[in-house]
Structure 1
Amino acid sequence: MKILLSHAYSRHNAGDAALLSVLIQDVRDVYPGAELTVLMMDEVQPGETFDAVPVRPFPTHHALHRFSSRAAKLGHCLVTLATTALAVRVPAFVNHRVIGRRLTEYLRLCRGSDLVVCVGGGYLRGKPALSSTFELALLLQPLVLYRWMGIPTVLYAQSVGPFATPAQRRMAGHVLRKIDLVIAREDISLGILAGLGATANVRRSVDSGFAFDTATEVDIRSRVGAAPDRPLVGITVRQWLDPAGQERYERAVAAVADVAVEEFGATVVFVPQVTSERQGDDDRVAGRRVAARMRRPASVLGDSFDHHTIKALYSGLDLLIGTRFHSVIFAMTASVPVLAIEYEHKTSGIMHDLGLDEWVYDIATVDAATLTTGLRELFARREEVVAQLAERMPAYQARARDAKQELTTVVSSSSPVVLKGR
C-alpha cells in the first residue's frame, strides 16, 4: 500500500509534530510495510524526512505563503484552486509546463496512493475575515480532490469548527459529509459536525497527543537554575488576539506569574511550544513580552525544541499555566496540574472529558484576578489534582491509542483496496 499523511502543519509546532509521530506509528501498526509519504504545509527541504518517512510540500497551502501582499495571495489562491481542480478532471493538464512542478508532483503522488489519512488537529475552522475563508477552501479542496480520484480518506482525531460565516459552513458541510471517516476528538466537534449533516461517517475518539510518549530526558531545573526546594512553574503563551485583547491577556499572565514567584516562591519559565518563524507563529516572541511585563525575573527558553524534548521538559514542572493546548496535554500525561487558557473549543472539550472544567479560562476574557484565584486554588489542591490525573489519564490515553483501529473500517489490509460504502 501507498499511504499519504496529508495536512501536516510544521515540525516546529511540537504539538502537531507529536500528532504526526503518533499517526505514523498508528498507520505502521495497522498497515505494516506500507509506503508512507507526509505532505507538510511548512517549507520542505530536498530529501527531508520525519520519523524516517519522506516529506513533500503541501502545494495548495503554498499559495498562502508565497506572496506578502493580500491581493497577490488572493490571486494565487484562486489560481491554485482552479488549476488543481481542472488538472484532476482533465489528466492531460498534469504537466509541469501547464500547472507547475509542485502541483504536478503532488497530483501524481496522489494518483498513486491507496489511502489518505489527514493528520489530527484543529485546522478546519474559520474566522470572519475573507482570508480565513480562502484558507479554509485551500484546506478543504484536497479532500475533494482525493474523493474525485477515488482515494479513501480519513480525518484523524480532529477538532472541527467553529465557522464564522454561512459560506464557510456550507463549504465545510459539503466536504465533510462525503469524507469516508471523520474521527472527532471531543463532543463539541461532534455537535458542529452534526449541525453540518455529518453523522454517519463520524466516530468519537480523543486527541492523539495523549498517545505520544518519549524516551528523551531533560533536567529543566538545571537548565533554568531552579532550586530543588522551590516549585517550578511553566508557562506557554501565544499570539492570538487583536492588539488590545492580546495586551490584556499578556498582562494577566504576567500578573499571575508574579504571584507564583511572590506568594509561592516559584521559579517561572516560559516554554516555546511553537517556533515556526516562517508561519509567523513563534511563542518565544510572546514569551519575551510577557516576561518583560513581570516585576520578578523569569526564564524564557530561547531554543527551538523538537517535540520529544518539549514533552520531556514539561515532566519536570510542578505546575503549568498553559495556553498551547498540547503543552497542557504533555503536562497532564506527566501528572503535572494545569491552568488551561482556552483559545479554541478543543481545550474545554477535552478538559471536560477529564472532569477538569474548573481549571479552564477563556483567553478572550481572562484577567489577572481570575487567573490568580485559580493559581492559589490549584496550589492548595495540587496533590488532589495530581491524584486525579494519575487515576483518569491511563484510560484516556488508552482511548487515544485505540483510534488506529478505526483505520481498518475504511480500507482492508489486503489488496485490492476496498472502499467503504462505494
Structure 2
Amino acid sequence: MKNTTSAGLRQPATLTVGLLWHSISSDNLGVGALTESQIAICEKAAQRAGVSVNYILFGTSGGSSYAPAGVRIEQGPRVSIKRMLTGNSDYLREVERCDLVLDIGEGDSFADIYGTKRYLFLLASKLGVLAKNKPLVLSPQTIGPFDKPLQRWAASAVMRKAECVFARDEMSSAYLEKLGVRGNVREVIDVAFRLPFTKPVREAGGKTKIGINVSGLLFAGGYTGNNQFGLTIDYAEYMRSLLRTWTALPDTEVHLIAHVIPDNMPEEDDRVAITQLLKEFPSAFKAPEFRSPAEAKSFISGMDFMTGARMHACIAAFSSGVPVVPLAYSRKFNGLMATLGYTWLADGKAMTTAEAVAITLKGFEQREELAAQVARGNARAAARLDDYEDFLVDLFNQVQPAARRSAVAAQSLQQA
C-alpha cells in the first residue's frame, strides 16, 4: 500500500515499531535470538504490507552487539517506574513516537516466579503503552505463572486490554483461558524458529558431534544457590554422567556450549560451569564464544545431537534439524515441546537424576527417530509463525493511516 505526501509524491509509509523487552546486546543469547527473529519476521511482514519500519528497542542491555545489518534500530531508554510515576519518563516519551509496540517479555519474564521487582517492571512497561493509547501486542511468549492473587489479577487486566496476546505453547494458552483472558488470544510458537543461520560444511566420515549446552544457572543452584527452581535431579551430576559416557565413546567429539555469557553475573554465566567441567573432562571441547545468536545457531546446526537446559539453545538445534533432548526446569520447555508434538524431554522437575540421564542417552542412541520427529515439529512451527506474520501484515496495514497523518503533520511543521 502506498501513501501520498503533501507534495504529491507517492512513497511507502514508514512505521515506528517499539520492541519492548527485546535486546540486540544482551549476554543472554536467548533474548537476542528472540529479537533477531522478531525483526526478521517484521521485515517480511513490512515488505508484504508495503511499508518500511524503524525500530525502537526497550529492554535490558549487555556487553554484546549484534544488530542485524540494514535495519534501522534505535536503542530506547530504560524503563524506570519512578520516572513514570513522577511524570518525567523518557520511556513514555519514546513510546509516544511508536505506531505500535511488540512486547516479547524476554520470552518468559511476564510471570511472578522471578520475583516481585521483575514482575513490576514488566507490568509497568505495558501500562505505559496502554496509557499512551498505542496498540500493544504480546508477541509469542510463555505467559505466567502468576502465583500471587493480586499479581495474577493485574496481569490479567492488562492482557485483556492488549491488541493481541500470543502464547508460544499450549500450556500458556490453557493458562490464559484459566485466567479468563479470551477473545484476543492466539497460540503460535516461539519466534526463534525463524532465526537465520548458516549450516557449516561437514567432511564425510568425520566424528559424531555431540553438543551439550551447560546451564551455569542450574549448575550454581539458581540465583540463590540452593536449588531455586526445585529440581528433582542433581544437575551437576547429570552433566558429569553424560560427559563420563560420551567422552569415553570412540569417534565422538563432545562440545560444551555456552548460551548465556554475562561478565558480571558468575552464577548465571555458562562459561563458569563449562570451565569447571573441562578440568574434569579435558577431552571435551569448548565451543567458541559466539558474537550473535545467529552465530550460535549456525554452530549448533553442525552437531549430530544436542542436549541443553537453555531453551533457545535447544530451539537453535531443533529449528536447524538437529536431534535434541532438552533438560526442562520450567513448564516453558514442557509446553513448547508438547505443542510441537515432540516427546523427547528430560524433566528436571519430575525425574530422578538416573532417569534424566537414561532418557538423554537413549535419545542419542535413537537420534534418527528424533530427527524424524524434529522434521514434523518444524513443519508445524513454520505454519504457526506464518499465522503470526499474517497478523503483523494486517496490523501494519491498520496503523498506516495514522502513521501517514503523523508524517504529513511533521512535514507541514518543517515547511512552516
Q: Would you say same fold, with TM above 0.5?
A: yes
Residue identity matched to 2:169:
E
Please give the alpha-carbon distance, in whole angstroms, between the structure 1 residues aligned to 2:86 and 2:390.
35
Q: Deviations over 1:335-355 (max 9, x none)?
A: 211111012212111211232
Residue identity matched to 2:385:
A
Name the counterpart of 2:339: 353
- The 1:48/1:333 distance shift into structure 2, 3 A limit, reads closer
Question: Do 1:172 and 1:196's aligned partners in 2 also have CA atoms closer than 8 Å?
Answer: no
After superposition, residues 18-417 of structure 1 pair within 5 angstroms as: 18-31=33-46, 32-43=51-62, 49-51=67-69, 52-60=71-79, 80-87=80-87, 94=88, 103-104=89-90, 106-119=91-104, 121-127=107-113, 132-214=115-197, 216-218=198-200, 228-238=205-215, 239-240=217-218, 241-242=221-222, 243-245=225-227, 248-263=234-249, 265-278=251-264, 281-294=268-281, 297-301=283-287, 303-357=289-343, 359-364=344-349, 366-408=351-393, 410=395, 412-416=398-402
CA deviation after TM superposition for structure 1 residue 36, in Å: 1.9
- The 1:271/1:355 distance shift into structure 2, 3 A limit, reads same
Say how many residue pairs are matched.
372
Question: Do 1:249 and 1:366's aligned partners in 2 also have CA atoms closer than 8 Å?
Answer: no
- The 1:404/1:279 distance shift into structure 2, 3 A limit, reads farther
Question: Do 1:48 and 1:55's aligned partners in 2 also have CA atoms closer than 8 Å?
Answer: no
1:4 aligns with 2:23: no
Question: Do 1:184 and 1:202's aligned partners in 2 also have CA atoms closer than 8 Å?
Answer: yes
- The 1:397/1:292 distance shift into structure 2, 3 A limit, reads farther
- The 1:253/1:395 distance shift into structure 2, 3 A limit, reads same
Q: Deviations over 1:46-74 (max 9, x none)?
A: x99554332324412xxxxxxxxxxxxxx
Q: CA RMSD in A?
A: 2.9
Please give the alpha-carbon distance, in whole angstroms, between the structure 2 residues aligned to 1:8 and 1:114.
17
CA deviation after TM superposition for structure 1 residue 37, in Å: 1.6
- The 1:244/1:86 distance shift into structure 2, 3 A limit, reads closer
CA deviation after TM superposition for structure 1 residue 410, in Å: 4.5
In structure 2, runs of 5+ residues without a counterpart are 1-14, 405-416
Question: Do 1:2 and 1:36's aligned partners in 2 also have CA atoms closer than 8 Å?
Answer: yes
Name the SS of the counterpart of 1:200 in structure 2.
coil
In structure 1, runs of 5+ residues without a counterpart are 61-79, 88-93, 95-102
Q: Structure 2 length as normaliser, TM-score?
A: 0.80
Question: Do 2:290 and 2:296's aligned partners in 1 also have CA atoms closer than 8 Å?
Answer: no
**In structure 1, which of residues 13, 17, 31 is the aligned counterpart of residue 32 of structure 2?**
17
Q: Deviations over 1:285-334 (max 9, x none)?
A: 1222334454x631223524311211111111111111111111111222
Name the counterpart of 1:76: none
Question: Do 1:154 and 1:181's aligned partners in 2 also have CA atoms closer than 8 Å?
Answer: yes
Question: Do 1:284 and 1:302's aligned partners in 2 also have CA atoms closer than 8 Å?
Answer: no
- The 1:30/1:301 distance shift into structure 2, 3 A limit, reads closer
Please give the alpha-carbon distance, in whole angstroms, between the structure 2 residues aligned to 1:248 and 1:293.
17
Please give the alpha-carbon distance, in whole angstroms, between the structure 2 residues aligned to 1:44 and 1:388.
37
Question: Do 2:66 and 2:291's aligned partners in 1 also have CA atoms closer than 8 Å?
Answer: no
Please give the alpha-carbon distance, in whole angstroms, between the structure 1 residues aligned to 2:373 and 2:174.
27
Please give the alpha-carbon distance, in whole angstroms, between the structure 2 residues aligned to 1:117 and 1:4.
6
- The 1:213/1:378 distance shift into structure 2, 3 A limit, reads same
Question: Do 1:335 and 1:389's aligned partners in 2 also have CA atoms closer than 8 Å?
Answer: yes
Question: Do 1:44 and 1:55's aligned partners in 2 also have CA atoms closer than 8 Å?
Answer: no
Please give the alpha-carbon distance, in whole angstroms, between the structure 2 residues aligned to 1:44 and 1:110.
25
